[in-house]
Chain A
Amino acid sequence: DQQVKQNSPSLSVQEGRISILNCDYTNSMFDYFLWYKKYPAEGPTFLISISSIKDKNEDGRFTVFLNKSAKHLSLHIVPSQPGDSAVYFCAASALSGSARQLTFGSGTQLTVLP
């Protein structure tokens, strides 16, 4: 059973508009959440994160919102740019054994149309 779900495999947005990517999780032990961005033939790169003690974190054009009661987080990109076109992975972290382990969602392909 997937503990981190990204239910939208793809999203298309016009340049300059807002992109909203969503992620749901089921494990209450997750206490840290991250978004990674991945271009084809490259590894994922860290984008933004949020601790479970916060409900919002902002970094330039990127804002992550966390709703703990709903076990839902979202990534907002404003304004969207063609260079933002990539696969976005949501990840959740919990301490397991001797290390914190990341559990990834299946990803959302964002396409920003010029």
Chain B
Amino acid sequence: NAGVTQTPKFRVLKTGQSMTLLCAQDMNHEYMYWYRQDPGMGLRLIHYSVGEGTTAKGEVPDGYNVSRLKKQNFLLGLESAAPSQTSVYFCASSPGTTDTQYFGPGTRLTVL
């Protein structure tokens, strides 16, 4: 049981490049979330999903897109990366009936 995994762990992009971050969970959770964490700030919700095929905007959705084609996977896309998107990105999942979220190890993204 791996829990929540994230791919890749580190990435460096140039401004304007695109990339996709992959989150996978093997706990059969309905809900999945993408957060970003910046220095001196808490985790901020980017997008979330309440089930396969559904997505919704969180607090800071601009510049990101997401897809949940399979229940176990939640993808975060950056179509045209900007230096302001330099951050650590965390994925999380929850059963949906509780507030406890289970987090992945994070992806450190640098946009030059």
A residues sitting closer than 8 Å to B (CB atoms) are: 2, 4, 6, 9, 32, 34, 36, 41-46, 49, 89, 91, 93, 97-107
Q: Are B100 and A43 in contact (CB under 8 A)?
A: no
| C-alpha gap A92/B77 in the complex (Å) | 27
A34-B99, A93-B99 given as contacts; is B105 within 8 A of A99 (CB)?
no
Mark interface residues in B94-110 (1 if CB within 8 Å of A CB, else 0).
00100111111110000
Q: Are A99 and B31 in contact (CB under 8 A)?
A: yes
Q: How many A-B residue pairs have CB under 8 A?
A: 60
Q: Are B100 and A34 in contact (CB under 8 A)?
A: yes
| C-alpha gap A99/B44 in the complex (Å) | 15
Q: Are B106 and A41 in contact (CB under 8 A)?
A: yes
Some 21 contacts from A to B, beta carbons below 8 A apart, are: A2-B42, A34-B99, A36-B103, A41-B105, A42-B106, A43-B104, A44-B90, A46-B101, A46-B102, A49-B100, A89-B42, A91-B42, A98-B50, A98-B54, A99-B96, A101-B48, A102-B43, A102-B99, A103-B42, A104-B43, A107-B42
Q: How many whole Å from B41's CB to the nearest CB in chain A? A: 5
Q: Are A105 and B42 in contact (CB under 8 A)?
A: yes
Q: How many whole Å from B100's CB to the nearest CB in chain A? A: 5
Q: A100-B99, A101-B48 are in contact. List 17 more A-B contacts (CB 8 A).
A: A9-B40, A32-B99, A34-B99, A34-B100, A41-B106, A43-B4, A43-B104, A44-B103, A49-B99, A89-B43, A97-B56, A98-B56, A99-B31, A99-B56, A103-B42, A106-B41, A106-B42
Indicate whether B78 reaches chain A with its CB closer than 8 angstroms: no
